A and B are shown apart, each in its own frame.
Chain A
Amino acid sequence: LSGIATGAVVESDRIGEGVSIGERAIVRAGAALGDGVVIHPNVIVGPGVSLGDAVEVFPGTLLGKAPSRTASVARAPTEVPRTVTIGDGCSVGANAVLYDDVSIGPESLIGDGAILREACRVDARCIVGRYTTFAYEVTMGAGSRIMGETHITGRSTIGERVFIGPGVRSANDATFGRADDVDEVILGPTIEDDAVIGVGAVLLPGVVIGRGATVAAGAVVTRDVGPGTTVMGVPARPAGDDPASARSSDRSGP
């Protein structure tokens, strides 16, 4: 049996069993809610949104936002389908924003206030931390985790089981928006499987962080990092083969 609270607006008839929809939540026509979905108050579920079984969406979250197209935007957003797909068992929000054409694999967590722009693909069992922002066309492999207040720039590729600490920043345009065709030069970092990125690191456009590599906290990565290697510093340089040398417990310091 489903419970729809006072003031909720439910236009869709594709509502599963045992669904709970909170006060003033809005579920547009065309949205689909699996069994056991919990929609907290003041959530907006757009028309092309599909939620798997037992998804929980916390208050104030917006699912299915169209990209903005003001004259000030350097790169006009590509046309994307108005669909958002969220797998079974995910938790989203509060106050998160998912744009159109975003998909989230099962058992993933999208933190409070996180924002994922159009054409992002997040696989299963991932974590996107609180207030972490994804620009457009980011892919994130299964089991990867990103902590809070991190910015993943447009056209970044994140492999499987990657760990990205809090406050990490990334860039995708070495021309700082000066190129005639911004869309041709834009490329975000590629972070291969099992790599880890320390707190507050900065990843510059197009760098490849190799499989199992370690980027130390606060490092500024200006060039590719080989698989299994550790880099640290500003600019980041190899620190030897022992990942432990990147740890704060190494009291001799880097």
Chain B
Amino acid sequence: VTRIASGAVVESERIGEDVSIGEFAIVRDGAELADGVVLHPHVVVGSGVSLGERVEVHTGAVLGKEPALTAGIARRPKSASRVVTIGERCSIGVHAVIYYDASVGPDTLIGDGASIREGSRIGAACVIGRYTLLHYDVTVGDGSRIMALSDIVGHTVIGKDVFISGLVSSANDNALGREGYSDDVMRGPMIEDEAMVGAGAILLPGVVIGRAALVAAGALVTRDVEPETRVMGVPARPA
């Protein structure tokens, strides 16, 4: 039996069985909620958003946001589809924001306040920590976990079963914005399967962290890290 609390606005007719929609939540026309979905109060689900079975969305989360297009933006967002797909049994945190043209695989946790921009593709059974940012066109493989307050820059590629600790930052533009923006030049880090990145590490543009490599906490990674090696320090060197 589906339950819609008082004050909720449900414009969509594509609502499954046993769905619960909390007070003042908004479900726009064209959104799709599968069986057993739970929306807590004040959630906004935009048109074109599809939630798999038993997805739970916590208070104040915004699913389906258009990228902003103010004059200060160096990179004009590509024409993104107005679609967000969230797989079965995902949990989306309080105040999380997911932009249009993003997808999240099943059994993934999106933490409170996490913000995921257009073009991001997150696999199954992942964790995106609280207040962690994913920029545009980021790929996260199945089983990878990113802890809180990390900033994953545009065009980053993260493999499977990767672990990224908290407060990790990254960059994709060696010119620091001085030479304008070109998608051909910007390269985020590539973090291969099973690699580990310690708390507070900084990953510079285009570095490759090899398979099962380990970046120590606080390291500044300025060059590639070979598979199964450890680096530490500023700049990072093999341990």
Contacts and interface: CB of A to CB of B under 8 A. Distances in A.
A213 to B, nearest CB: 11
Interface string A1-35: 00001110000000000000011100000000000
A206 interface: no
Interface string B185-224: 0000000000000001010111100000000000010110
Given A59-B44, A163-B177, A218 B68 contact: no
B202 A167 contact: yes
B125 interface: no
In terms of DSSP, what is the predominant structure of the interface of chain B? loop
A40 interface: yes
B202 A218 contact: yes
Given A125-B70, A217-B220, A218-B234, A166 B24 contact: no
A40 B44 contact: yes
Given A233-B234, A254-B222, A166 B68 contact: no
Nearest to A127: B72
B73 interface: yes
In terms of DSSP, what is the predominant structure of the interface of chain A? loop
B42 A60 contact: yes
A190 interface: no
A20 to B, nearest CB: 13
A123 to B, nearest CB: 10
A214 B44 CA distance: 41
Contact of B60 (A42, A109, A125, A251): A42
Interface of B: 7, 9, 24, 26, 42, 44, 60, 62, 65, 68-74, 95, 97, 113, 115, 131, 133, 149, 151, 153, 167, 169-171, 174, 176-178, 200, 202, 204-207, 220, 222-223, 234-235
A22 B60 CA distance: 14
Nearest to A144: B72
Contact of A89 (B71, B131, B220): B71
A60 B29 CA distance: 20
A51 interface: no
Interface residues of A, number: 56
Contacts of B223: 248, 251, 253
Interface in A236-254: 247-251, 253-254
A6 B71 CA distance: 32
A69 B133 CA distance: 31
A113 B60 contact: no
B178 A165 contact: no
Contact of B170 (A94, A199, A214): A199
A196 B169 contact: no
A111 B113 CA distance: 12
A143 interface: yes
A107 interface: yes
A122 B68 CA distance: 17
A108 B222 contact: no
Interface stretch (A72-80, A145-153, A179-187, A221-229): A145-153
B7 to A, nearest CB: 7
B133 A200 contact: no
Q: Which of A127, A197, A233 counts the most B-chain CB atoms under 10 A from its CB? A: A127
Given A60-B62, A90-B70, A247-B204, 8 more contacts: A22-B26, A42-B42, A91-B68, A107-B71, A111-B115, A166-B171, A199-B204, A253-B222
